[in-house]
Amino acid sequence: MLGVGRLKTGRNDFSSLDIDKIRLIYLFTTVGSVVLISIAFLHLLKGDIDMFAFEMLIASGGILNAVLLKITKNVTVAENFILFGMLILICGILVHGGYNRTGIYWIYTYPLLTFFLKGNKTGIIWNFVFFLVVLIFAFLDYKNIVPVAFSQDEIRQALLAYTIVMVLAYIFEEALLKSYKEVSRLAVTDQLTGLYNRHYIFEKLNDEIERAKRFGKKFCLILLDIDDFKNINDRFGHDVGDYVLFEVAQVLRDTTRSVDTVGRLGGEEFIIICPNTDIVGGLIIAEKIRSSIGELNIPDVGRITVSVGVAEFTGEETAHELIKSADTALYRAKRSGKNKVEIYSKNGNVIRFGIDLLKIKKPASAGRH
């Protein structure tokens, strides 16, 4: 199964799905260990020392697994530990029968665990292994090699019921996964344009800043604003305005790279995060976007233009400061005639772009309105 949206926990980043898995592992370990220890003491009272020791060993393994998960944060190891532990427990139950020969009912928790922890594709493999283990024990019992506490008819009926539970669990998990993906997609998507929304963009920008600091990488931030968009809404209505926003978003998808993150900040303002990109690369991308949008010819509206601001991460800015820098450059583009790209810089460096020299002006003190 896939997770979308990440949460920070200690030194590790977990998807929200991983968080759900961790909660299930702790819950199952707690409840399962308490129940298994209780049954183990019932066996002790009956004088069944071997089963008492076996069940206490499995319960202790479950508790140890929870402790290791707390320490290592390794969800995959914890998942495998639980599923292997359940298989070993089931093997013991097949031979012994469990308390008053009722242990076989534990098998019906297995498909639910496998599909949730491992997803449907890998979960099928784990369930195949389960079937194989039970059939091997049934065969060994049939050949009088290893005695099993249940008759062949009981095993067949249990496997039939298990199959029904497994199919239902598979269908439920498939439906849950689709709903999870859709909800996760909507949580990070702007409904009108289909681009990433403001919340996700800020999360992604903070992640990119952390990555750039850790590995000493450069990246650029591009802000663009549709020129005279208020006039479009006033003259042609909001439906036409929404159509313009949708078309601009489509151009952004087509002209940016697969590694770039494109989002809508709100209104007619868009943002692009360009990883591993210096100021020259950011300028090239921004010019490509500006010229491509300039080729749009919306029915009734005509040509669409945008003003663009570009800022490069220098290793010191916060997300808010970097956006403010790009916004300052965008304001300058608006103020100096619109339909152009401006670059933010703290100095007066000159950049060669094609055959032209583009002087990077010092930032204006005023903000954009």
Name the band, by pLDDT with cuts 50, 70 and 90, for residue 29. Answer: confident
Residues in Cβ contact with 198 at an 8 Å cutoff, skipping those fewer than 6 apart: 263, 264, 265, 266
Predicted confidence at residue 20, as pLDDT, reads 76
Predicted confidence at residue 1, as pLDDT, reads 31
Tokens 């590995």 found at: 215
Tokens representing 345 are: 């810089």
User: pTM to 2 decimals?
Assistant: 0.63
pLDDT beyond 70 at 346: no
Query: Percent of the chain, pLDDT > 90?
Result: 68
Tokens 């008492």 found at: 52
Start-end of H helices in 256-299: 279-294
Strand order of the sheet with strand 219-226? 261-266, 269-275, 219-226, 306-312, 341-343
Q: What domains, with CATH codes, occur in the chain?
A: 6-186 (no CATH), 198-359 (3.30.70.270)
Q: Could you tell me if 308 and 282 are in contact, meaning their C-beta atoms sit under 8 angstroms apart?
A: no
Tokens representing 283 are: 């300028």
Tokens representing 273 are: 């995060």
User: Could you read off the pLDDT of 272-299 as tens digits, one per residue?
Assistant: 999 999 999 999 999 999 999 999 989 8
Predicted confidence at residue 12, as pLDDT, reads 45
Predicted confidence at residue 124, as pLDDT, reads 95
Q: Could you tell me if 264 and 273 are in contact, meaning their C-beta atoms sit under 8 angstroms apart?
A: no
309 versus 366: the higher-pLDDT residue is 309
Predicted confidence at residue 15, as pLDDT, reads 59
Name the band, by pLDDT with cuts 50, 70 and 90, for residue 23. Answer: confident
- Per-residue pLDDT, averaged over 165-192, amounts to 88
pLDDT beyond 90 at 11: no
pLDDT beyond 80 at 234: yes
User: Could you read off the pLDDT of 153-162 as tens digits, one per residue?
Assistant: 999 999 999 9
pLDDT beyond 50 at 118: yes
Q: Is 48 exposed, middle or buried (0-12, 13-18, 19+ CB in 10 A)?
A: middle
Query: Other C-beta atoms within 10 Å of 60: how many?
Result: 13
Q: Distance between CA 314 and CA 57 in Å, rounded?
A: 56
Pairing assessment for the beta strands 302-303 and 306-312 based on DSSP bridges = unpaired
19 versus 124: the higher-pLDDT residue is 124
pLDDT beyond 90 at 103: no
- Per-residue pLDDT, averaged over 142-155, amounts to 92
Q: Is 338 exposed, middle or buried (0-12, 13-18, 19+ CB in 10 A)?
A: middle
Tokens representing 258 are: 């697969």
As a 3-state breakdown, the chain gives helix, strand, coil percent values, each rounded to 5, of 65, 15, 20
Q: Distance between CA 88 and CA 57 in Å, rounded?
A: 11
Query: Other C-beta atoms within 10 Å of 51: how many?
Result: 22
Name the band, by pLDDT with cuts 50, 70 and 90, for residue 181. Answer: confident
Q: Is 10 exposed, middle or buried (0-12, 13-18, 19+ CB in 10 A)?
A: exposed
- Per-residue pLDDT, averaged over 335-357, amounts to 66
